[in-house]
């Protein structure tokens, strides 16, 4: 049956993760996988999640299927959280999904069904799953300029110029906050300009929000989405609870569609559910139940806010300390961008060969494109990491 199938190209990150886990050098710094880690290198279960799990273990009365759109209460809570405010004169409808990945996949499948000739534009560079997701659905894929690798700043002019050249047959995938892999933040001015261009040129914005609360704050990290939602007629949002609730393997997320025609959005929402039917049919409920309980229980909500804030502050602190240590080691401000970036990631300006040398000779593990996960760093390794980077790059 499957004899003619070739072995798919492995995901770059998996062999590196394995290599890092098998490296027992004491100085090892593993900055590969994109998950939050505490100072001792663990990806902890949040206390609020533990408390919700305890409560649900006793009080849940069923594990029966939720409907094809998911749990409406959960979806409404995530909508409120993601958008942070009511968007006037727009209709928003969502569906519960197994994580942000499925949310994006469903949105792209819906686009393919409605407009088979659309081109999906992703940032150069972008999250490793974006391109393959669009391609596997049979959508055309192109890149818009984003990171200037020389300066580690946004390629503002060429980004805006490219967006100005797009039209109604284009959809532009934007990271809501904490861009993966660059950590570059779009400010309010950028978002506002992108929204104006989208409205003028008629391209379709898709926002991927996977790190809300881990950048600047829950509210600040939603600003780009709010600006877009208030200015454009239509957009889609894929939302993940993997990182900000630490529910990676519970697969918790939502896909939202926003538009100014209520009937159109209602039908499109049902279309999302029909696209999920031959795949996962209904979304897993366990993680969604945990999120719902946290968001509706004031003490747990406060506890979760506090934990999320501690995680975010740890990342900001690591960024500041690493960039300072690199100032000392290199005698330059070349790495100041690390403190200016937000979220888990930044891109080191190293070649794939230099990243390999860092792994082999220094036990410092980042990806070949230079991506490092700052949240994988512990305080006592900052100086060693800075010395290693300065020695190699
Ligand atoms: C930008 C971005 N979107 C989506 C995801 C996937 O999220 P999930 O685990 O909820 O599928 C990630 C995970 O790393 C991500 O970085």
User: What residues pair up with 140 in beta bridges, in sequence order?
Assistant: 119
Q: Which atom of ligand 1 is nearest to the CA of 179?
A: 1
**Is residue 205 located within the same domain as residue 124?**
yes
> Does residue 50 lie within any of the structural domains?
no
pLDDT of residue 2: 96
Q: Is the CB of 335 under 6 A from ligand 1?
A: no
| Side-chain half-sphere CA neighbours of 369 within 13 A | 18
For residue 312, give the nearest of 280, 275, 342, 350 by alpha carbon: 342
Q: Whose CA is nearest to atom 3 of ligand 1?
A: 210
Q: Is the CB of 98 under 6 A from ligand 1?
A: no
CA angle 138, 144, 145 (to 5 degrees): 150
> Does residue 3 lie within any of the structural domains?
no
Q: Which atom of ligand 1 is nearest to the CA of 178?
A: 1
Q: Is the CB of 70 under 6 A from ligand 1?
A: no
Q: Looking at residue 329, which CATH number applies to its domain? A: 3.90.1150.10
Q: Looking at residue 198, which CATH number applies to its domain? A: 3.40.640.10
**Is residue 243 located within the same domain as residue 266?**
yes
Q: Which atom of ligand 1 is nearest to the CA of 175?
A: 1
CA-based end-to-end distance of the chain: 48
**Is residue 275 located within the same domain as residue 352?**
no
| E strands in the chain | 29-30, 91-97, 119-124, 140-145, 147-148, 153-154, 170-175, 204-209, 235-240, 253-259, 345-347, 364-365, 371-373
Phi/psi of residue 197, nearest 5 degrees? -65, -40
User: What residues pair up with 240 in beta bridges, in sequence order?
Assistant: 253
Q: What is the DSSP string of 290-353?
A: HHHHHHHSHHHHHHHHHHHHHHHHHHHHHHHHHHHHHHHHHSSSTTTHHHH--SSEEE-S--HH
**Is residue 35 located within the same domain as residue 99?**
no
> Does residue 273 lie within any of the structural domains?
yes
Identify the residue whose tokens are 């534009």: 121
Phi/psi of residue 59, nearest 5 degrees? -100, -10
**Is residue 185 located within the same domain as residue 172?**
yes
CA angle 142, 16, 147 (to 5 degrees): 35
**Is residue 112 located within the same domain as residue 133?**
yes
Task: Using the mean position of ligand 1's atoms as its centre, give its distance from the Cα of residue 127 in Å.
Answer: 8
> Does residue 58 lie within any of the structural domains?
no
Q: Which atom of ligand 1 is nearest to the CA of 241?
A: 10
**Is residue 249 located within the same domain as residue 177?**
yes
Q: Is the CB of 34 under 6 A from ligand 1?
A: yes
**Is residue 277 located within the same domain as residue 334?**
no
> Does residue 60 lie within any of the structural domains?
no
Task: Using the mean position of ligand 1's atoms as its centre, give its distance from the Cα of residue 129 in Å.
Answer: 8
Q: Is the CB of 212 under 6 A from ligand 1?
A: no
Q: How many separate domains does the chain show?
A: 2
- Token readout for 209 is 């929000």
Of 273, 296, 319, which residue sits at a domain end?
A: 296
Of 296, 330, 364, which residue sits at a domain end?
A: 296
Phi/psi of residue 312, nearest 5 degrees? -65, -45
Q: Which domain holds residue 331?
A: 13-45+301-392
**Is residue 177 located within the same domain as residue 202?**
yes
Phi/psi of residue 212, nearest 5 degrees? -60, 125
Task: Using the mean position of ligand 1's atoms as its centre, give its distance from the Cα of residue 101 in Å.
Answer: 6
**Is residue 29 located within the same domain as residue 136?**
no
**Is residue 331 located within the same domain as residue 313?**
yes
Task: Using the mean position of ligand 1's atoms as its centre, give its distance from the Cα of residue 166 in Å.
Answer: 26
Task: Using the mean position of ligand 1's atoms as its centre, give its distance from the Cα of residue 361 in Å.
Answer: 31
> Does residue 205 lie within any of the structural domains?
yes
> Does residue 55 lie within any of the structural domains?
no
Strand order in the sheet with 91-97: 91-97, 253-259, 235-240, 204-209, 170-175, 119-124, 140-145
Of 274, 296, 318, which residue sits at a domain end?
A: 296
pLDDT mean by block of 10 residues, the chain; 393 residues = 92 91 96 94 96 98 94 98 96 98 98 98 97 97 97 97 98 98 96 98 98 98 98 98 98 98 98 96 97 98 98 98 98 97 97 97 97 97 98 97
Q: Is the CB of 126 under 6 A from ligand 1?
A: no
pLDDT of residue 185: 87
Q: Which atom of ligand 1 is nearest to the CA of 34?
A: 14
For residue 132, give the nearest of 34, 214, 22, 9 by alpha carbon: 9
**Is residue 306 located within the same domain as residue 286?**
no
> Does residue 191 lie within any of the structural domains?
yes
């Amino acid at each position: 049956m499957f004899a003619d199938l070739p072995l798919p190209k492995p995901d770059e990150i998996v062999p590196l993760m394995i290599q890092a886990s098998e490296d027992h050098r004491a100085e090892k710094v593993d900055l590969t996988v994109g998950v939050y880690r505490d100072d001792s290198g663990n990806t902890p279960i949040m206390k609020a999640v533990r408390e919700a799990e305890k409560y649900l273990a006793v009080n849940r009365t069923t594990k029966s299927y939720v409907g094809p759109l998911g749990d409406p209460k959960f979806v409404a809570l995530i909508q409120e959280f993601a958008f942070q405010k009511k968007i006037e004169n727009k209709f928003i409808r969502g569906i519960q999904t197994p994580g942000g990945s499925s949310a994006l996949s469903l949105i792209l499948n819906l686009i393919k069904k409605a407009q088979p000739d659309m081109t999906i534009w992703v940032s150069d560079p972008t999250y490793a799953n974006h391109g393959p997701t669009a391609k596997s659905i049979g959508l055309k894929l192109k890149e818009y300029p984003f990171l200037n690798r020389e300066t580690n700043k946004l390629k503002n002019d060429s980004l805006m110029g490219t967006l100005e050249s797009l039209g109604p047959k284009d959809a532009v995938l934007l990271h809501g906050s904490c861009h993966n892999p660059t950590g570059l933040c779009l400010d309010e001015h950028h978002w506002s300009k992108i929204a104006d261009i989208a409205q003028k040129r008629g391209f379709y914005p898709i926002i991927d929000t996977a790190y809300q609360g881990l950048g600047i704050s829950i509210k600040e990290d939603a600003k780009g989405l709010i600006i877009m939602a208030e200015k454009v007629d239509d957009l889609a949002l894929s939302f993940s609870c993997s990182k900000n609730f630490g529910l990676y393997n519970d697969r918790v997320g939502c896909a939202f569609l926003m538009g100014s025609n209520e009937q159109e959005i209602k039908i499109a929402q049902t279309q999302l559910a029909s696209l999920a039917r031959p795949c996962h049919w209904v979304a897993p409920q366990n993680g969604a139940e945990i999120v719902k309980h946290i968001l509706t229980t004031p003490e747990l909500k406060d506890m979760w806010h506090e934990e999320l804030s501690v995680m975010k502050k740890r990342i900001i602190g690591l960024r500041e300390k690493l960039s300072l240590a690199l100032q000392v080691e290199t005698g330059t401000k070349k790495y100041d961008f690390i403190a200016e970036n937000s979220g888990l990631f930044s891109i080191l300006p190293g070649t794939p060969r230099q990243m390999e040398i860092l792994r082999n000779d220094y036990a410092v593990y980042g990806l070949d494109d230079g991506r490092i996960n700052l949240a994988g760093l512990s305080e006592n390794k900052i100086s060693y990491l800075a010395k290693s980077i300065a020695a190699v790059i």
